[in-house]
Amino acid sequence: MIFFRAMGNIDAIKKHEAALQRCLTVWIVTGLLFMLLPGTFLGAWNLISISDRHGAALLDPAWIQAHGHAQIFGWIGTFILGIGFYSLSKMRGLARFAVRRAWTCWVLWTAGVGLRWATNLWHWQWRWTLPLSAILEVAAFVLFFITVRRHRSEKNPAESGAPASQVWIGIVVVGTLGFLLSLLANFAMAVQGAYAGGGPDVPRGINERLLPLFTWAFPVVAIWGFSARWLPTFLGLSDPDARLLKLAVLVNTVAVACAIGAWWLPATALFATAATAASAGLHIFTRQQRPPKIIGVHPTFPLFVRIAYVWLLASAGISLSAAAWDKAGGLWGASRHALTVGFISAMVFAIGQRVLPAFCGMRVLFSTKLMFADLALLNLGCLLRVVSEIGAYEDYLPVLWPVLPVSAVIEMAAMTIFAANLLITFGQVPPHLRISTIQGPR
């Protein structure tokens, strides 16, 4: 009797694990769709229009913000929420409701992000659809947060006394709070915009002050946390320096507050300090202590991770220059692109193709060559964009205006290859199931 009861429990655990894996796959595919359609393709169209007109003055700012919202919340936010729900499968007491809540959250989140994109694009009934989209996003996050906070992960005795190995949890929590604050700020701006009646776009001055909250306080901090968790293993680095990472998060928080207050020189100087401290705390540019784990990914994986952190430092440096010398938005735009594409997108490309196939059913990445291609193209496109945006916008080298759409097409190709590689991976039968099918029942 005890034997059959144990076997029944094992079968139940396997079923719920498989259900969470299917749900995570849907979350990731949804994020990829937001990345491609309202994110990358709309962004490329915007950039082509800007290049033709030699400026963004005549372009609807709501379109630009639709692109940014789809990338930060529709892509990165969807990935983080989906992975967060999947991680609950490793916690206690989740079998009864985790899957249901994950699906409910997915409906709310997808509806909110999709409605926001459509509202910014077509302006249809925007005075009520804009706040509604923000309410749906906040509701989805609240459901996620309630589910997470009710549970505690199982303690690992080997790690219970190692603060350096656990610092990543605190950093991810700070990034999660940044996520919440970003959604609340977005809701406040949606309500204010609906009341004022100026249009679905956030006024330029307010938008510029909120962008550091949407980027540095949310995805950047979250990536630092996951880097502390995974990079020592994946890249063979020594354990992260907890003190430097805590310092980086603290300085970064002060920098975001300064940016919201439009104190740009201290804000950008602090961002540069935080980026330097985080890179040093993670030992990104130090020698590896052991061989990196690159099975299933391209051998250049560690190199591209380090290049992403170079982009983080470059973004901080360019933003510091922008605070002092920007005249036409070129330096500010270049710093944001170096951060969102050079660092955030590149880290998602690198880490995502390393962990998502395993999370979504113990699969193996379809093609490591495609992984190299999308990372190489993404970095090439980002380099062209950053250089040409500074040269063209700031009128240092007007001849670079035609390079802007070229950079957009290259980045669009990189995003498409990345999405295709993951979608094909999810469509394949996992190796362990393939083997059992070949062997047949026993």
Q: Is 136 within a domain?
A: no
> How many domains does the structure of the chain reveal?
1
Q: In terms of pLDDT, which residue wins out, 440 or 373? A: 373
Domain limits for position 440: 294-442
Whether 323 shows a pLDDT value over 70: the answer reads yes
Q: Is 414 within a domain?
A: yes
Q: Is 409 within a domain?
A: yes
Mean pLDDT computed over 414-441: 78
What is the reported pLDDT for 57? 60
> Of the ranges 246-255, 374-383, 432-441, which one carries the lowest mean pLDDT score?
432-441
Q: In terms of pLDDT, which residue wins out, 305 or 328? A: 305
Whether 375 shows a pLDDT value over 50: the answer reads yes
CATH of the domain at 363: 1.20.120
Q: Is 224 within a domain?
A: no
Q: pLDDT category, 94, cuts 50, 70, 90?
A: low
What percentage of the chain exceeds 90 in pLDDT? Answer: 70
Whether 441 shows a pLDDT value over 90: the answer reads no
Q: Is 248 within a domain?
A: no
Q: Is 206 within a domain?
A: no
What is the reported pLDDT for 156? 45
What is the reported pLDDT for 90? 59
Q: Is 397 within a domain?
A: yes
Mean pLDDT computed over 274-292: 95
Extract the tokens encoding 423. Answer: 């979608």
Q: Is 286 within a domain?
A: no
What is the reported pLDDT for 77? 96
Write the pLDDT tens digit of every residue in 263-273: 999 999 999 99
Write the pLDDT tens digit of every residue in 129-176: 999 999 999 999 999 998 877 555 444 444 444 455 589 989 999 999
